[in-house]
Amino acid sequence: MSLERSDPAPAPPSSRSAGPPDGSPARSINEAAVRRIPLEILVLTAVGAAVSAAVFNATAGCLFLAGGALSTLSFLWMKRTVAGILNRKKAAAVRTGLFFYALRFVLILGIFFLIIFAYPDKILAFAAGFSMAVPAFVVEAFRAYALMKTWKD
């Protein structure tokens, strides 16, 4: 008689999931990309902050770094919030999603206003740092493009 435990059957993919089924290569590639994006934002921000500090001044470099850090935190917060929202029923998900989107918008807008009031001539450095999510997404898009094997019509 064997006392080995058999592994439970894998759970079926969620019917609410719009993505590929669990365990598929596309899903693992997407999850890896989402995990890499915050790190890429921080690396791009560090490089940009060093260049900004060298070309302009230390304040511009620090504000660039602060913008990139806020961008990273915003991305992580959005990732966590969206994951939580998708596990709710539709009506509650819509209300919660709108609430968190509005809250995130108000907080980011408030931080931009604080920077404008404190350093009106350095707001572009902060905005450039905050925009480092865009090049990080472009890097991931090129990486995904390089992994594509065929084009679909």
Residue 8 within a domain: no
Q: What's the CA gap between 16 and 111, in Å, rounded? A: 35
86, 16 in Cβ contact below 8 A? yes
What is the number of structural domains in the chain?
Answer: 1
Is 88 within the bounds of a domain? yes
Query: Which of 77, 64, 70, 69 has its CA nearest to residue 119?
Result: 64
Global pTM reads: 0.69
In a domain, 19, yes or no: no
The pLDDT confidence band at residue 149, using thresholds 50, 70 and 90, is low
Of the candidates 48, 115, 41, 114, the one whose C-alpha atom is nearest the C-alpha of residue 78 is 41
In a domain, 43, yes or no: yes
pLDDT of residue 150: 52
- 39-43, 76-80, 88-92: segment of lowest average pLDDT: 88-92
Name which of 42-46, 50-54, 79-83 the model is least confident about. 79-83
Question: How is residue 2 written in tokens?
Answer: 């064997």
How far apart (Å, rounded) are the C-alpha atoms in residues 133 and 15? 31
Structural domain contains residue 80: yes
Task: Show the domain range for 69.
Answer: 31-144
Mean pLDDT of 104-127: 88
Is 55 within the bounds of a domain?
yes
